[in-house]
Structure 1
Amino acid sequence: MAKKRTNSRGNALPRLIVVLVLIAVAGWALWQSPPVERIFYPFPNRALVDEYAHDYGVDPLLVIAVIREESRFLPQSESRKGALGLMQLMPATASSIAHSLGDKGYRERDLLEPEKNIQYGTWYLASLEKEFSGNVVLTMAAYNAGKGHVRQWIRSGQIDPKHVQVGDIPFGETREYVLRVLKSYQKYIMLYKNP
């Protein structure tokens, strides 16, 4: 009686599939873990962000989300419209902030320094939050489009401040900006709120 030969290749394929599935699951789990996600959502200048967020009563995780979306953490950033630094402040806005803070030594080039930019940007976020009663959607819309536009949208009835949705924002660029900041903000809350 002849022995039956087993096909080693026939047994290897199911094992290979199992190994590949396990590698994929492990890779996905690692990718979803906070240490890996923190590579894509870092928190540079944390001491400065925490200090000024505390001083002006703003969530530091919102501040860092704004920095991520505005400049990708590049302090020397300059937009096509002339906004400068980490939080992409317009020079005229920064000059007004300097006046409000009593900063007589302020110069436009100071916006390229992380500390001054974070201080002024955080102060500005706090003022917008106060004006729009803590509504993050309206605050971020005003940060991007200007508070004058947001006031006009409210006056004209285009936006109901009590029930605002991102989709209600009339400017497409501002809608996209607010969505990006809110997405980053949620990620930062998940990764850094209670590490």
Structure 2
Amino acid sequence: MQGFRDRVQQNRRIQRRMATCFCVALFILIVSLSAFFVLQFEPVQRKYFYVYPYHDTVMKYAEIYHVDSNLTAAVIKSESKFKHTALSHRGAVGLMQLMPETAEWIAGQIGDKSYNVESLHEPDRNIRYGTWYLAELQREFKGNDVLALAAYNAGRGNVKAWMDENNWSYSFHDIDAIPYKETRDYVRQVIGDRKKYRELYPE
């Protein structure tokens, strides 16, 4: 008789533990689903994940240099997360992470005689130079955004070498074929972010 009672009590304890585990799992599921749906709300995405400071400046130079403003925003997000004081370990400066020697060349191309390295931290100048450079790369690579973004990240010389070595045409779009992992990830990230900016900030 005592053994029967012990088994009954043991079964009840097991049932209570199972019920507790079920409730905990259900709670976690509800919280996870709630968080997922909250994160889908556009105001939440705009505020926390796809911020857009300097919107007017981006729009201004995108129009002047005929560049998709969403592409510029996506590049800035990937390069500096919109921090105008950003400075990489390689020496790239500002919102669009321009190398000083590249910026000096751009200044010469656009006739900006007031350029100096410190001025690259100025949002207006950095966005102007970076947007002009994007336009230049798009022109050089015949409007191919994959190649232009790869060149922005890895350098135009590397991209031209890859084109020659692998017989890529200007219609190339196989991101997985890009030799550098960093550049593959960069191009994929920017193209994905451009899509989100288009959805969240329709012009």
- TM tier relative to shorter chain: 0.7 to 0.9
What residue number does 2:195 align with? 186
Residue 19 of structure 1 deviates from its aligned partner by: 9.0
Query: What is the aligned partner in structure 1 of residue 55 from structure 2?
Result: 46
- Return the TM-score normalized by structure 2: 0.82
How many angstroms apart in 2 are the aligned matches of 1:17 and 1:71?
A: 39
* 1:123–1:24 CA distance, 2 compared to 1 (3 A): same
Q: Distance in 2 between matches of 1:18 and 1:92?
A: 57
Q: In structure 1, how many angstroms separate the alpha carbons of the residues matched to 2:100 and 2:145?
A: 24
The answer as to 2:178 corresponding to 1:169 is: yes
Distance (Å, rounded) in 2 between the aligned partners of 1:156 and 1:42: 39
Greater mean alpha carbon deviation, residues 145-154 or residues 24-33:
24-33
CA shift, 1:30, in A, is 2.3
Distance 2:30 2:182 in 1: 42
Identity of aligned residues (%): 43
Q: 1:26: how far off?
A: 4.7
More helix by share: 2
- What SS is found at the alignment partner of 1:156? helix
Distance 1:173 1:25, change over 3 A: closer
CA distance, structure 2, for counterparts of residue 172 and residue 22 of structure 1: 37
The structure with the larger Rg is 2
Q: Matches of 2:78 and 2:164 in 1, distance apart?
A: 28
Q: How many residues align?
A: 184
The aligned amino acid for 1:91 is: P
Q: Secondary structure at the match of 2:39?
A: helix
Which of the numbers 32, 42, 45 marks the counterpart of 1:37? Answer: 45
Question: Partner amino acid for 2:36?
Answer: W
The 8 Å contact of residues 159 and 168 in structure 1, kept in 2 or not, is answered as no
| Deviation for aligned residue 1:87 | 0.1
Q: Which residue in the other structure is 1:117 paired with?
A: 126
